[in-house]
Amino acid sequence: MRALPLIARLAAAGLATAALGPTATATAGARQPGDVCAQVPAPRTIAYDRIAGVPANLTSLDVYAPPRRRTRGRRVPVVLWIHGGGYHVGDKASQVAAKVRLLTSSGYVFASVNYRLTRAGDPTSAHWPDHFRDVAAAVAWTRRHVRRYGGDPRRIILLGHSAGADIVANVTTDPRWLAERGLGLAAVRCAGPLDTAGFDKARATDRERGQWISALGNAPDFEHTTSAVYLIRPGIGIPPTITVVRGTPNRQSIQQSFAARLREAGVPVTIIDARGLSHAQVNSRIGAPGDTVMTPPLLAFLRDCAAVAAPG
């Protein structure tokens, strides 16, 4: 019963799978790639890892290949999307249709990733570092296998929203998770943790910290060891990063501090001013017809970051 308040809060914020509604009403503006004319291709669902006792769907991803006319036989960048849900709820199929249309029609392979979830009060469910390890395993699978779907394993882009953003931030600033899979941080070409206060959990509100205590509280000094602002160091291969600033003044300060720490470490950073959007809209506006806040800067970042394949 103790789990109910947390799940209720997630649902109220639009994070629970059942609560995810249609894409937010689009603002007026020029049409974007991936608008309503484009069809959503059927995905291939693939297990990127197999863990005894864990349902296969929780360690699987859905791969959407772009139309052949967009790729002209060339290998294209790959976007891995990590869903949100406070580490407790969510699914790879939630709110991805607009993203799939946008990115496959723009010439990207799109893959939406599931990871093990925490059930509050259940010590047998996922806890630190399971979520980070799962996403690192998905990156490793993509490196090995994405060629067969037309993707370039040297141009993997890791994007996520909310809890997914926190996972992305950890996987791309803490080398140990990819190192367990024999990879360095350079295995991720570009990163996009979109809207989380988890960059600095010690400064977040008690309400936000509740979800992290449940999922990550078993980590030693979790407020610091799972917060990206304390993990960032120069010269370790952190990829160019795009993030957003929005929300309360404290949340904006945490997000701006994350960007500042990256810049101090020599990492290129792009900030989207999303102060006019809600937390849910940061997610739902990506690829929404007519969106002028999230979609254009994200596409520009991806083009600049992933346009030329890195050596190796």
Question: Is there a domain that residue 19 lies in?
Answer: no
| Contacts for 273 with CB less than 8 Å, ≥ 6 apart | 244, 245, 246, 293
Confidence of residue 114 (pLDDT cuts 50, 70, 90): very high
Residues 6+ apart with CB under 8 A from 52: none
CB 131 within 8 A of CB 116: yes
Domain that includes residue 218, residue range: 3-14+31-306
Q: What is the mean pLDDT of the chain?
A: 88
Across residues 5-32, what is the average pLDDT?
35
One-letter-per-residue 3-state SS of 104-173:
HHCCCEEEEECCCCCCCCCCCCCCCCHHHHHHHHHHHHHHHHHHHHCEEEEEEEEEEECHHHHHHHHHHH
Q: Which amino acid is at 64?
A: Y
Contact 165, 201 (CB under 8 A): no
| Crossing angle for the helix pair 130-145 and 163-173, to the nearest 10 degrees | 70
**Residue in 84, 110, 113, 79 with CA at minimum distance from that of residue 20:** 84
Q: Which position has the token pair 């197999």?
A: 50
Mean local confidence (pLDDT), 190-212: 96
In a domain, 235, yes or no: yes
CA distance 163 to 211: 9
What pLDDT does residue 38 have? 57
Q: What percent of the chain has pLDDT over 90?
A: 80
Query: How many structural domains does the chain have?
Result: 1
pTM of the model: 0.88
Residue 226 per-residue DSSP state: T
CATH of the domain at 214: 3.40.50.1820
68 φ/ψ angles, rounded to the nearest 5 degrees: -60, -30
**Is-contact 163 85, C-beta < 8 A?**
yes
**Is 190 inside a domain boundary?**
yes
Q: How many CB atoms lie within 10 A of CB 164?
A: 28
Residue 19 pLDDT exceeds 60: no
Give the pLDDT score at 73. Answer: 73
pLDDT at 281 over 80: yes
Q: Quick one: which H or E segment has residue 47? A: strand 44-47
Helix (H, G, I), strand (E, B) or coil at 28: coil
Instruction: Give mean pLDDT, residues 49-69.
Output: 93
Give, as one character, the DSSP assignment of residue 149.
Answer: G
What SS3 class is residue 5?
helix
**Element of type H or E holding 273:** strand 269-273
> Do the domain assignments include residue 132?
yes
Confidence of residue 16 (pLDDT cuts 50, 70, 90): very low
Measured CA to CA, the distance from residue 109 to residue 78 in angstroms comes to 5
Q: For residue 82, count other CB atoms closer than 10 A to its CB.
A: 30
Confidence band, pLDDT 50/70/90 cuts, at residue 11: very low
Decide if 25 is inside a domain: no
Angle of CA points 242, 247, 253, to nearest 5°: 70
